[in-house]
Amino acid sequence: MKNNSSDCSNSSCTHELSEEAQRLVATINCNSSRQQHIVLVCKPSLESILVTVALTYYAQLHGQYVRLSLEKDCQLQLDEVPIGPIDGLQDLHLVERLITQLQRFYGQPTRYLLAYACSYDDPAMPQAVYEWARMVLHYKEQSQTLLSAVQTEAFLKYARRGCTECEHARQFIRMSKMEDGSYFARFSCKANVLPLVASYFAGRLRTENFAIVDPSHGVALIHTAGNMRCSVILLDEALLQELLHTKQVSNEEHYIRSLWKTFYKKVGFSERGKVERGYDLRTHWMAKRFWSGLHELEPQ
């Protein structure tokens, strides 16, 4: 996959890579010289996926011999060799360089599209990002007109889905008041969206201490009252369980939930059957996978 027009293709610049990335490039070169098919394993993060894409240029790896896969979903085929994963945190300059190149050719929305796409949980997502990036770096400004290209359709599909999951998080995260006066919520969806919506909740709840935990992705947002930003934390299993089970809701929270359940019951359509219009607007506007977080559906 040689591309002399890209800043990422200069293999003489491998001294810019971390030791981990240099070892990965050396392993890729060793296997590609034997014309073996390679699976580059990625962690489920923007940094890992984009650094892995960038390293294929340093290794001058041809696209027909490589595919990308998420670590937890990696299913090897015959004659495939797995390599990686790399977390990408030591090579963030490669992420920025790749994004800058893609944005130069594809326009300003590129950063947001990449963030949304790379957040989405799908085994085929890293490969779609990889093939789209190769297409953009090959066709340059012309890539903006290739809206019907297979690579564009696949990439934008994941970007749209990641954006939708961000909107679900903004709409459906429910905060509860804890005994210590802070607020807490747990929320999981089909994408690792908490880092993408952190600024939204920091702005909405700037005067409050709060935490939002995503058990599925092992991520938490921690906010201290008065701060303009949230801290994004990767959780190990012990810390995850501590955050989920140590805090208890306040007496005030129980009272608020009771009031909300009463209100919800009064405005419902209890006399309408399931086939009648307006029976349950929640069914239409809110996916059932989010219903477990609704306090109004808990038994009295």
pLDDT, tens digit (0-9, with 9 covering 90-100), for 28-50: 888 888 878 889 999 999 999 99
- Tell the burial category of 190 from Cβ atoms under 10 Å away from its Cβ (0-12, 13-18, 19+): middle
Does residue 152 share a domain with residue 13?
Answer: yes
The Cβ of residue 65 has, within 10 Å, a number of other Cβ atoms equal to 16
Beta sheet of 37-42, edge-to-edge order: 66-70, 37-42, 80-83
Among 165, 181, 204, the domain boundary falls at 165
Does residue 153 share a domain with residue 31?
Answer: yes
Q: Is residue 213 part of a domain?
A: yes
Does residue 135 share a domain with residue 11?
Answer: yes
In this predicted structure, what is the pLDDT of residue 282? 65
Among 165, 189, 221, the domain boundary falls at 165
Q: What angle do CA 212, 173, 269 make, to 5 degrees?
A: 155
Among 165, 191, 220, the domain boundary falls at 165
In this predicted structure, what is the pLDDT of residue 64? 73
Does residue 45 share a domain with residue 23?
Answer: yes
Side-chain-facing half-sphere of 160: CA atoms under 13 Å: 6
Does residue 161 share a domain with residue 12?
Answer: yes
Q: How does strand 183-186 pair with strand 176-177?
A: antiparallel
Adjacent-strand bridge partners of 66: 38
Does residue 228 share a domain with residue 150?
Answer: no
Q: Which residues of 129-164 are buried (b: 16+ CB within 10 A; e: fewer)?
A: bbbbbbbbbbbeeebeeeeeeebbebbbbbbebbbb
Does residue 266 share a domain with residue 148?
Answer: no
For residue 123, give both structure tokens. Answer: 């085994």
In this predicted structure, what is the pLDDT of residue 273? 61
Does residue 144 share a domain with residue 37?
Answer: yes
Q: Is residue 69 part of a domain?
A: yes
d(CA 260, CA 300): 11
Q: Is residue 111 part of a domain?
A: yes
The chain-wide mean pLDDT, for the chain, equals 86
The tens place of each residue's pLDDT in the chain, 300 residues long, gives 444 444 444 444 556 889 999 999 999 888 888 878 889 999 999 999 999 999 998 988 776 778 999 988 887 777 888 998 999 999 999 999 999 999 999 998 999 999 999 999 999 999 999 999 999 999 999 999 999 999 999 999 999 999 999 999 999 998 999 999 999 999 999 999 999 999 999 999 999 999 999 999 999 999 999 999 999 999 988 888 888 887 788 988 888 888 888 887 777 666 666 665 555 666 677 788 888 777 777 766
Does residue 66 share a domain with residue 76?
Answer: yes
Does residue 148 share a domain with residue 15?
Answer: yes
Structurally, the chain folds into a number of domains equal to 3
Distances in whole angstroms, Cα of residue 228 to Cα of each of 115, 137, 172: 21, 36, 22
Q: What is the pLDDT of residues 245-287, one digit of tens each?
A: 877 889 888 888 888 888 877 776 666 666 655 556 666 777 8
Residue numbers of the domain that contains 194:
173-249
In this predicted structure, what is the pLDDT of residue 8? 43
Does residue 299 share a domain with residue 152?
Answer: no
Q: Is residue 217 part of a domain?
A: yes
Residue-wise DSSP of the chain: ---TTSGGG-GGGGGGS-HHHHHHHHHHHHHHTTT-EEEEEE-SSHHHHHHHHHHHHHTT--GGGEEEEEGGG----TTEEEE-----GGGHHHHHHHHHHHHHHH-TTHHHHHHHHHHB--TTHHHHHHHHHHHHHHHGGGGGG-TTSHHHHHHHHHHHHHHHHHHHHHHH---EEBTTS-EEEE---SB--HHHHHHHHHHHTTTS-EEEEETTTTEEEEE-TT-SSPEEEE--HHHHHHHHHS--B-HHHHHHHHHHHHHHHHTS-TTS-TTSTTS-HHHHHS-GGGGGG-GGGS--
In this predicted structure, what is the pLDDT of residue 73? 81
Does residue 59 share a domain with residue 132?
Answer: yes
Q: Is residue 2 part of a domain?
A: no
Q: Is residue 1 part of a domain?
A: no
pTM (predicted TM-score): 0.85
Q: Is residue 282 part of a domain?
A: yes
Backbone angles phi, psi at 179, to 5 degrees: -60, -30
